[in-house]
Amino acid sequence: MCGAKVYKSVAVGGVGDTMDPMSKVFEEAKKNPKMKKKLRVKAIFSLVLLVAFMGVIFITLGTLISSKQGHFLGMTQLDFLKLRARYGIFMMVLITAHLLMNRSIMKKEFELLFG
């Protein structure tokens, strides 16, 4: 296979042919109480970010629909644009916090990409 490594995993339920490279790292981190706490905080934050992203989808669709029909769920396009501006600031704060929490991982990724 031209020197390429192929990973086979024993997946739960037999799902998946390749191993996620982060799986081993997470399994090792779960054994360390300090790392487990840190991973839990990151997981909660990721879930908040995912739910907030669903809000972005709703606001975007609401803006598009209200621009065509004049209103959507009792809100005008201007209402959605105001909501979008406020929500945008909230999302910027969440994304900045997410990047700060994962800066060490990003540093390794950039080293891999550019180094």
Structure confidence by residue, pLDDT tens digits, 15-68: 554 667 778 777 887 788 888 888 888 888 889 999 989 988 988 888 888 888
Strand 71-72 to 75-76 pairing: antiparallel
Q: Tell whether the model's pLDDT for residue 12 goes beyond 80.
A: no
Q: pLDDT-based confidence at 13, cuts 50/70/90? A: very low
pLDDT at position 14 is: 45
Q: What is the pLDDT of residues 75-98, one digit of tens each?
A: 888 888 888 899 889 999 999 999
**Contact partners, residue 42, CB within 8 Å, separation at least 6:** 101, 102
Count Cα atoms within 13 angstroms, Cβ side, for 66: 17
pLDDT at position 16 is: 52
13 SS3 class:
helix
The domain segmentation of the chain, as residue ranges, is 32-114
Can you tell me which residue has the tokens 């031209």?
Answer: 2
Separation of alpha carbons 19 and 9, rounded Å? 5
Burial of 80 (0-12, 13-18, 19+ CB in 10 A): buried
